[in-house]
Each structure stands twice: as C-alpha cells, then as structure tokens.
Amino acid sequence: MKVKGYMIEPKADLEGANLEGADLRGANLRLADLRGANLEAADLEGANLRLANLEAADLEGADLEGANLKLADLRGANLRGAGLEGADLRGANLRLADLEGADLEGADLRGANLEGADLEGADLREATLPFSIDKNTKFFNQEGN
C-alpha cells in the first residue's frame, strides 16, 4: 500500500516521513522505522505497530484506537491528545513521551516504561497500568484513576 508516496509495509523505512493526516487504518507497520516521522492527526486505528521505532515521532491528535503498539519504541514521542483507547502498549518504551490529554481508556500498559512521561490530563479509566511507576512520571490532574 502506498500513502503520500511512501510504501506502507512491515519493516518500512519511514524515518522522518511526513504522514500528517494520513489514513493508515489497519496498516501493518510491524518493525517499521518511523523515527521523527510526522503522524500528526493520522488515522492509525487498528494499525499494527508492534516493535516499531517511533522515537521522537509526532503523533499529536492521532487516532490509535485499538492499535497494536506492543514493544514499540515511543521514547520522546509527542502523543498529546492522541486517541489510544484500547491500544496494546504492553512493554512499550514511553520514556519521556508527552501523553498530555491523551485518551488511554482501556489501554494495556503492562510492562511499559513510563519514566519521565507526561500524563497530565490523560484519561486512564479502565487502563491496565504497569506494576510500578517511576517517580519522574508526571500524573498531575489526570482523569480516571
């Protein structure tokens, strides 16, 4: 599948790609390199991003409802206001990620690294959280638990 001139497939090299607002519903981007990619407001509902590298990617306002982000690298990613309802984030690296105002209702975060992540205003209702939370994780004024 080709979107905005980029091949969307497992193991794709999309480092720095501009996929702002792209329709990537159900896309298979397993093991893809999306470091620094612009995915702002992209529709990634139900996408497979397992083991994908999304370090420093811009996913502000993106729809990731039901997406598979298991073991994905999201270090320093911008996920402000992203919709992650029911997303599988087990074992994901969210170190220093900005999740301010993100909707994580029903998301599975078991084993995820949230060290230094900003979850201010995030909706964590029904979310399964990691066993332990780092002291640097910011949880001020979050909704839910």
DSSP-derived secondary structure letter, 20:
T
Other beta carbons within 10 Å of 81: 19
Domain 1-113: which topology? Answer: Pectate Lyase C-like (2.160.20)
Cα separation, 125 vs 116, in Å, equals 21
DSSP-derived secondary structure letter, 1:
-
The confidence score (pLDDT) of residue 133 equals 57
Domain ranges of the chain: 1-113
The confidence score (pLDDT) of residue 138 equals 65
The confidence score (pLDDT) of residue 69 equals 98
Per-10-residue mean pLDDT, the chain, length 145: 94 98 98 98 98 98 98 98 98 97 97 94 91 59 47
How far is residue 25 from each of residues 1, 16, 22, 67, 70, measured CA to CA in Å?
12, 20, 9, 9, 17
